Amino acid sequence: MTERADAAIPEITAFAAVAQTGSFTKAAENLGTSKSNVGKAVQRLERRLGTRLFQRTTRAVRLTEDGETYLQAAQTALDSLRDAELALAARRDEPIGRVRIDLPAGFGRLLLPSFAELRKRYPRITLEAALTDRMSDAVGEGWDIVVRIGILPADSDMTVRKLCDLRLGLYAAPEYLARHAPIRSVSELSVHDAVIFRGPNGRLRPWTVQDGGIVREISPSPVMVLADGQALVEATIHGMGVSQILDRVARPHVDAGRLVHLLPASDVDGPPVHALIPLGRRMPSKARVVLDHLAEQLRPA
């Protein structure tokens, strides 16, 4: 039966050690094994290659011409493997490489400015982010981290880390409020224009509000329906009407004077925010630092 032509790494390592030391005994000492094991490894390699690599005498071990040719290639291959091992070790210790993140549209734009600081801290990380309100296939599409707002799908292929809780409030632009009657109670919302969100399930999302100590749902007649969370925020900023927005998303617009927080007493607890991470492998440092960054950004003030 013909020997396979491909050599095992231990055989190549043994051959290179003998060639470098000129001795089976010294090679065995350097490799932490026995002279017999080194000799057998070299013999297996010679059988695979179909040639003698060493001239053996009682006084010396010398490379044959074929041995010299093979040693040059073996040393190049072993050096490349050592370089690769060092590179992989560095990647484990220092966050390096691409991290793919799937974020809800409006929420993602809230986090985007913070990624500049993340890049300063970890300049060898490349971020690839999708900002969308569709329910992507976290595993099938190869995301490293998927951020979800609300009820999570039953998915045994993901592990979950809670990032924060949200509040839901009513907001409108100063321009809209200047053109319409003031809003002093929940009951007065019925005469105002409403911008409503259509969820991934296709249903219009009602407003949930506190009204006189009672939490209830109201379904205002919309002047605009949007299935994109960021578009809903922008439509509200441009004076289309009143909308219910997540507090974390609305806050920078309120601080900038683009939105007004209406009836704060009517705010209700909103959905939680979770990060989903694929199971089945150890999380690389590049993904871990991004996940920790998201948690830090969303930590309660």
207 neighbors 183 (Cβ within 8 angstroms): no
The tally of domains found in the chain comes to 3
The 3-state DSSP class for residue 151 equals coil
pLDDT at 13 over 50: yes
Average pLDDT of the chain is 86
Identify whether residues 81 and 69 lie together within a single domain: yes
Given 53, 86, 119, the domain boundary residue is 86
Identify whether residues 192 and 264 lie together within a single domain: yes
Residue 81, strand partner residues: none
Q: What is the pLDDT of residues 250-285, one digit of tens each?
A: 999 999 999 999 999 999 998 899 988 876 556 788
Identify whether residues 33 and 79 lie together within a single domain: yes
Identify whether residues 132 and 187 lie together within a single domain: no
Q: Is residue 38 part of a domain?
A: yes
- CA of residue 232 relative to chain centroid, distance: 26
Structure tokens at 263: 């009836």
CA angle 31, 33, 38 (to 5 degrees): 85
Identify whether residues 173 and 160 lie together within a single domain: no
Q: Dihedral (C-alpha) 108, 109, 114, 119: value to the nearest 10 degrees?
A: 80
Domain at 79, CATH number? 1.10.10.10
Q: Is residue 276 part of a domain?
A: yes
Identify whether residues 173 and 108 lie together within a single domain: no
Q: What is the pLDDT of residues 286-301, one digit of tens each?
A: 888 999 999 998 887 6
Given 55, 86, 117, the domain boundary residue is 86
Full DSSP string of 180-223? S----SGGGGGGS-EEEEBPTTSPBPPEEEEETTEEEEE-PPEE
Identify whether residues 276 and 262 lie together within a single domain: no
Identify whether residues 134 and 256 lie together within a single domain: no
Residue that the structure tokens 């039966």 belong to: 1
Q: Is residue 4 part of a domain?
A: no
Cα dihedral 217, 219, 223, 227 sign: positive
Confidence (pLDDT) at 161 = 87
Identify whether residues 172 and 263 lie together within a single domain: yes
Identify whether residues 159 and 185 lie together within a single domain: no
Q: Is residue 3 part of a domain?
A: no
Identify whether residues 112 and 66 lie together within a single domain: no
Given 31, 58, 86, the domain boundary residue is 86
Q: What is the pLDDT of residues 188-226, one digit of tens each?
A: 999 999 999 998 778 899 999 999 889 999 999 899 999
Stated pTM of the model: 0.60
Go through the chain and tell me how many residues it has. Answer: 301
Identify whether residues 110 and 195 lie together within a single domain: no
Query: Counting Cβ atoms within 10 Å, is residue 286 exposed (0-12), middle (13-18) or buried (19+)?
Result: buried
Q: How far apart are CA 77 and CA 9, in angstroms?
A: 10
SS3 content of the chain, % helix, strand, coil (to 5): 45, 25, 30
Q: Is residue 2 part of a domain?
A: no
Full DSSP string of 63-84? E-HHHHHHHHHHHHHHHHHHHH
Q: Is residue 1 part of a domain?
A: no
Domain at 232, CATH number? 3.40.190.10
| Domain interval for residue 260 | 167-269
